[in-house]
A and B are shown apart, each in its own frame.
Chain A
Amino acid sequence: MNKFYKDRSNQLTRRAALSTSAKVAIGAVVAVGAGVGGYFAGLQAAPKEVVRTVTAPGATVTQPGVTSTVTVERTVERTITAPEKRPKEVRVAVFSHYEDVPRKVMAPFFEPRFGVPVVFETVVAAESRDKYIAAHRAGTSPYDSLELWATTVQEMADRGWLVDLTDWVNRLFGPDRGAIADVWEAATYKGRIYAVPDKIGCPILQWNKELLKEAGLDPERPYEWWKTKNSINEFVEYAKATTYMKDGVQFWGYIDQWGYEVVVQYSIFAQMFGGKLMDTTKNQPWGEPAMNQKPAVEALQWMVDLLHKHKCIDPASLTYNWVFDFLPGYLQGNVAMVITWPFVTHVAENPEQSKIVGKTGFAPNFAKETTASLDGTEFFGVSKFAPNGVEAGLLWLEHVTSFDMQRRQGLHGVWAPIYKSLLTDPDITKTMYEAPVIRISYEYPHSAFWTPDWERWTDILRKEIHAALRLEKTPQQAMDDAARRIKEERETYTS
């Protein structure tokens, strides 16, 4: 069980206890009812239609420096057509790093609701692509519904392995999908939707207030940066002031994952500067390389300066490939600022893992033209080869995206729910306190420039970014070379 989920289960308030008891009682009655009903329904034809209406609650949430007032967003209304023929089960692939929520929080409500059991199989996220591709390449799928990384959706859609969900999504969420955060880019291929989001998250700025205070800086100031144009300069000053050697210990102003994931972080900075890495509005679905245009090149120059001119980022960042590589320095209290995933706010406040408990702040990232981040949403799709039929896969999608399940995810998970209103729901923000910051971040540029060949072009780009960071090329040369090589590669393989 994941630590955060376990910790919070102990923090049961009286109100929550009463509410939970009531829900359990209602749930039990519904379950028994559904069980009996399901038995008889199993003998008869499946219901033609299920109609359900849920109203999103209003909320006002105030964070230090981040105030979000949200009234009722809209009514989330769904009309679901139940399958003509009920599947015997629904097989779902879930990621190992987050399987507790679908298994323990969502699954108990599935069978009572649809009269069909759900069977999970755990997949390591990093291996999911290989697993899905190998199966689909052979014209088969062990799963009706697949949990998907954003990197995989367009690629699988391009090969015709995912079911087109556009009409289903429009019927479910309305054509404007306004109740949901802006996370559809990765799921959209040639204007059609091939997956639905089940949890969202984007990198945000997190900092050690004590290190800022010790350097004579205002520790509350970073709360304001996201709303302030050119606050990136103030960030650099803060990073410089907090980079020093003391009693043989090196302190760094900033640390990042500029190794294998450098493109992800560069995407954030390029968008802050008003730039793009790939113009996905042109030459769809591949897009046109845009990393060699002025704003993106300026962003890379800024990264080079941070490393070589200001010398306020730990140079070991170039060898850190993911968040857990650089986290020890931040959690030990040797690093002032990081841009990373929201769950780190909880890790930093866990005394078993962190020496900076009670000293941290977090907010949307600082700004150049605007603030910016990167969409790290995870999705569910339905396989073209779903063993229990497409309808079986759709049942899980309907369940996982339902407002009540998303609310439960917000209450018990560490990744944010997809509905905007839930990101400022007072019950949820009591424990998922970073949710309003995620909501704000999604209102500013947050593209990852997904294309079906994302894996390939980002590999080329990564090498050119590293060439610039090692001072082997100027940022302009490196990005020109990246754009040229990506075009050449595409001429060979997409012609």
Chain B
Amino acid sequence: MKVKQHHSDTKLAIILLIPAATLVIGLYFIPTLITFLMSFQKRDISENLFEVIINLPSSNLDNYIRSFRDPDWIASFNQTFLLILIVTGLGVAISLGIAILLSQEFKGRGFLRALVLIPWAIPPIVNGTTWTLIYHPQVGTLNALLSQLGLIDRYIIWLLDPLLAIFSAGLAVTWRNIPFMTLFILAGLQTVQRELYESAMVDGANFWQRFRHVTLPAIRPVLLTVIFMQIIWTTKVFDEIWALIKGGAAGTTVMNLWIYRQAFEFLRYGYGSALAYLLALFTSIVVIGYYYLVSKRSER
């Protein structure tokens, strides 16, 4: 009787799982598989997807080999790397500062905590477009502000020089990511025991010493998570770069943008798929690195 009941429960579970499983397989697993197979073929958009299967015997590594000779892909890799450094470095430093400030007791703290969330609510493309207005050489608010402060006598072209352009774009991305990082770090700060600070103060530790020897070690796991999430997210940045730089003279592009252009502007599905898998590989290496560091720490 019990065995019969068990069988009918399993059947019901399978039936209930079918719709969700169909969606996952149809919309996630199959496209991932087809894209993977496509990455080994010289595939153009006008060819039938079923041809991917038919043409399997002619698959080769040409797209992957080609990527190592593609100057635009190499440049986009370098610029993505630079963007990661800027967004992660700047973002973590600023967010840590804001989080420490918001962890203090003062009037209006609740309001400020809510205020800091605003950039997170802004869609990335709107953020990018807003920053184009901020950076506009003639009518941009940044040049106007610097000019009124007497810091510049002629306008700065923020998106002209490749290095300045990637830094400017990095600032726009950082601004959007700050709320998330701040909240994460703030949560970490609230787990630090008050007694530790009190003991440090009794021992005569100043603010920097308390931060260096109490706060930082305590929130290190949180910081590690924030840093790795920033790295992963920045490899996927698209909207801000699209809105700010597109294909401007700075020649700045990032990996995700170049993949989009190959696949959807030039319609090179095969090559675009190969590049997408290389980006996925890069992200996977970062994730593996993160797990390695976390597991090493928990072993200790």
Contacts and interface: CB of A to CB of B under 8 A. Distances in A.
Nearest to A485: B71
Contact of B157 (A133, A316, A455): A316
Nearest to B75: A463
B210 interface: no
A319 B168 CA distance: 13
B298 interface: no
B159 interface: yes
Given A133-B45, A137-B45, A319 B154 contact: no
Contacts of B247: 259-260, 321, 459, 462-463
A328 B45 contact: no
Interface in B33-74: 42, 44-46, 66, 72
Contacts, number: 77
Contacts of B268: 493
A469 interface: yes
Contacts of A314: 137
Contact of B265 (A159, A250, A318, A455): A455
Given A250-B155, A258-B249, A334 B138 contact: yes
B251 interface: yes
A492 B157 contact: no
Contacts of A456: 265-266
A8 interface: no
Interface string A103-124: 0000000000000000000000
A352 interface: no
A259 B160 CA distance: 9
Contacts of B265: 455-456, 459
Contact of B153 (A137, A248, A258, A329): A248
Contact of B44 (A248, A329, A466, A493): A493
A130 B249 CA distance: 25
A43 interface: no
Contacts of B42: 492-493
A292 to B, nearest CB: 18
A364 B53 CA distance: 55
Given A259-B249, A260-B247, A492-B42, A318 B154 contact: no
B17 to A, nearest CB: 29
Interface in B242-263: 246-251, 261
Contacts of B82: none
B267 A319 contact: no
Contacts of B154: 245, 250
Interface residues of A, number: 35
A50 to B, nearest CB: 36
B248 A259 contact: yes
A333 to B, nearest CB: 12
Contact of B249 (A248, A329, A453, A469): A469
Interface residues of B, number: 29
Q: Is the interface of B mostly helix, strand, loop or mixed?
A: loop
B139 interface: yes
Interface in B67-111: 72
Given A462-B247, A466-B249, A319 B44 contact: no
A236 B46 CA distance: 47
A481 B286 CA distance: 36
A431 B155 CA distance: 38
A133 B267 contact: yes
B181 to A, nearest CB: 29
A159 B160 contact: no
B59 to A, nearest CB: 16
Contacts of B44: 493
B29 interface: no
B46 A159 contact: yes
A177 to B, nearest CB: 29
B8 to A, nearest CB: 41
B155 A316 contact: yes
B211 interface: no
A492 B70 CA distance: 13
B52 to A, nearest CB: 14
B46 A319 contact: no
Contacts of A329: 138
Given A248-B153, A316-B160, A455 B246 contact: no
A426 interface: no
B264 interface: yes
Contact of A463 (B72, B158, B246, B264): B72
Contact of A260 (B66, B72, B246): B246
Contacts of A315: 157, 160
Nearest to B268: A493
Contact of A319 (B45, B139, B249, B264): B249
Contacts of B153: 248
A192 interface: no
A470 B266 contact: no
A248 to B, nearest CB: 7
Interface string A170-199: 000000000000000000000000000000
A466 B155 CA distance: 21
A248 B148 CA distance: 11
Interface in A352-386: none
Contacts of A250: 154-155
A130 B261 CA distance: 12
A329 to B, nearest CB: 5
Interface string A454-492: 011001001100110110000000000000000000001
Interface string A296-335: 0000000000000000001110110100010011001010
Contacts of B136: 325, 328
Interface in A142-179: 159-160
A314 B42 CA distance: 43
B246 A259 contact: yes
B251 A316 contact: no
A318 B268 CA distance: 28
Which of A245, A318, A319, A334 neighbours the largest number of chain B CB atoms within 10 Å of its CB? Answer: A319
A316 B160 CA distance: 7
B101 to A, nearest CB: 35
Interface string A203-221: 0000000000000000000
A250 B154 CA distance: 7
Interface string A126-144: 0000100100010000000
Nearest to B158: A319
Nearest to B147: A248
22 contacts: A137-B46, A159-B46, A160-B46, A248-B153, A259-B247, A259-B248, A315-B157, A315-B160, A318-B157, A318-B249, A319-B159, A319-B160, A319-B249, A319-B250, A455-B266, A456-B265, A456-B266, A466-B249, A469-B249, A470-B251, A492-B42, A493-B268
Interface of A: 130, 133, 137, 159-160, 245, 248, 250, 258-260, 262, 314-316, 318-319, 321, 325, 328-329, 332, 334, 453, 455-456, 459, 462-463, 466-467, 469-470, 492-493
Given A133-B267, A137-B45, 6 more contacts: A250-B154, A260-B247, A314-B137, A455-B266, A467-B251, A493-B44
Interface pairs A-B: 5 shortest CB-CB: A318-B249, A316-B137, A259-B248, A159-B46, A319-B159
